[in-house]
């Protein structure tokens, strides 16, 4: 049986009119997704049509869970104003 792995998006709450689920991966099917953020009703309809099971992934429980910081090197660079590359004149 095919499986569709999804998680709830961090910055979207109930009633905001935006898709709440992000597709993380698909196993056991030739199914391609062109839209990675979907609504629950859309997700259920897709799963039913292809005979797949929807697997909800748990949210993180680490020290930064739920603070929307994102972390990572790109986020840190953006907070500092980015990096500039030095160009050498030959």
Cβ partners under 8 Å of residue 33, min gap 6:
23, 26
Summarised one tens digit per residue, pLDDT across range 66-81 is: 555 555 555 555 555 6
Q: Which of 81, 29, 35 is nearest to 52 (CA)?
A: 29
Q: What is the pTM of this model?
A: 0.58
Residue with tokens 């030959």: 90
Summarised one tens digit per residue, pLDDT across range 22-79 is: 888 888 878 888 888 888 898 999 899 999 999 988 877 766 555 555 555 555 555 5
């Amino acid at each position: 049986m095919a499986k569709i792995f999804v998680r709830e998006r961090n910055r979207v709450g109930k009633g905001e009119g935006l898709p709440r689920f992000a597709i993380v991966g698909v196993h056991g099917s030739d199914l391609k997704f062109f839209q990675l953020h979907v609504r629950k009703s859309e997700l259920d309809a897709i799963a039913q049509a292809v005979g797949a099971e929807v697997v909800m992934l748990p949210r993180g429980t680490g020290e930064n869970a739920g603070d929307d910081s994102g972390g990572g090197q790109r986020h840190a660079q953006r907070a500092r104003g980015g990096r500039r590359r030095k160009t050498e004149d030959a």
